[in-house]
Amino acid sequence: MLDLQLLREAPERIRTAIEHKDMGAPDDVDTARALDAQHRKLLTELQQAQARSNTLSKQIGEKMRAGKRDEAQPLIDESGTLKQRIQELEDDVKAKAEALHRLLLSLPNLPHESVPVGRTPDDNEVVFTSGEKPTFSFDAQPHWALLEQHGLADFERGAKVTGAGFPFYTGKGARLQRALIHFFLDLATDRGYREMQPPLFVNEASATGTGQLPDKEDIMYEIDRDGLFPIPTAEVPVTNYFRDEILAEDDLPIRFCAYTPCFRREAGSHGKDVRALNRLHQFDKVELVQFVKPSDSYEALEAMRADAERPLKLLGLPYRRLLMCTGDMGFTQTKKYDLEVWSAGQERWLEVSSISNFEAFQAQRTQVRYRDESTGSNEHVHTLNGSALALPRVVAALLEHYQQPDGTIALPEVLHQYTGFETIG
């Protein structure tokens, strides 16, 4: 959520963000500013009325003690009328504050000045590429053929038991999932992230705090009876861990890593790009989350990006880093990188990670602050997160990249200690 001071002092910046991100309506800025002005005017009137009410109470008390009932009566009448007006003003102030808050929740975060302006994925900038795409002396198979050939996953029975996008992993496929989770967590904790195991369901306040609501309702599952949401990413519970708390400056930065299953409806997804592991409704992911001082957040973004790239390098998979444009960045981010791994069987790039800086946008919603020792004031932290990594497309790329002429799959050496086997097939 944007700071009210920004709305008052720099409305054009917000209008530009709405235009560049193609989210929300520019007129909402004027509506929000009008609500803010009305709220402040009513609040001033309320405070003045409350002050007058206090004065009247004191005067009435003095006259009654002095036995001057006749002189006190006009003040009593005024006080009664004023109390009714105060109640009306309190209701109006609350209504205006709630309306303003709802509108502020709909305004997107401002892109950082380094973010390219653009509308579509074609406007994203490829800023780094690592590794060589493999060449094969045989017809390379896509991962869905390799999964079936080696009995690594069962999509048909998953669809029978639950629905499309909920596969069973079986045999070495299940072992590979477990191995990758363990591997990714080890890399994160070696880099100083504190591991946690968060809840898999969150309430509406948590989903609103990270910006999933009111923006991503279409991709979230909801348990209406209990008012809970299965998490679309560990970002949601972990970022809410310190909600409504004030942290000590010396405790920053705070860095967490968490493995969770993730649940996404992915409304509107269809076609070849969602086949097999390309897009699932339930998938596993290791997430990185940081709480940092504002002055450190862009240095932290680059460090987190390097932490997310590290497993791809160790796995020997070709990948590229994209700096996302304004129109393909998302509602909550100020700056975002995507990491895409090369799918040798499909001959295209697959996203496996997003690394984002939100500045104070999420902290404004969750009210996570720290005490600035130099000023004595409480300031909002900056929050960041990144996937390190999402498993399904990593698995797809691994199987396709390391397939052999005889149909087996030779896993990279770095995984052998985690899987307990070197080859599949």
Helix (H, G, I), strand (E, B) or coil at 248: strand
Is-catalytic flag, 265? no
Helix (H, G, I), strand (E, B) or coil at 14: helix
Question: Residue 384: which of 360, 365, 368, 366 has the closest Cα?
Answer: 360
Q: Report how far residue 221's alpha carbon sits from residue 208's, in angstroms, rounded to the nearest whole number.
A: 14
Residue 72: exposed, middle, or buried by beta-carbon count in 10 A (0-12, 13-18, 19+)? buried
Is-catalytic flag, 351? yes
Amino acid identity at 376: G
Question: Residue 127: which of 387, 400, 323 has the closest Cα?
Answer: 323
Amino acid identity at 393: R
Is-catalytic flag, 225? no
Q: What's the Cα-to-Cα distance from 243 to each of 19, 240, 261, 303, 306, rounded to whole Å?
A: 31, 5, 22, 24, 27
Is-catalytic flag, 348? no
DSSP string for 351-397? EEEEEEE-TTHHHHHHT-EEE-TTT--EEEPEEEEEEEEEHHHHHHH
Catalytic residue (choose from 255, 264, 305, 321):
264
Catalytic residue (choose from 266, 351, 371, 379):
351
Catalytic residue (choose from 354, 356, 359, 400):
354
Cα dihedral 258, 263, 267, 272 sign = positive
Is-catalytic flag, 15? no
Catalytic residue (choose from 15, 365, 369, 393):
393
Question: Residue 203: which of 366, 11, 56 has the closest Cα?
Answer: 366
Catalytic residue (choose from 279, 305, 321, 365):
279
Cite the active site residues.
264, 279, 351, 354, 393
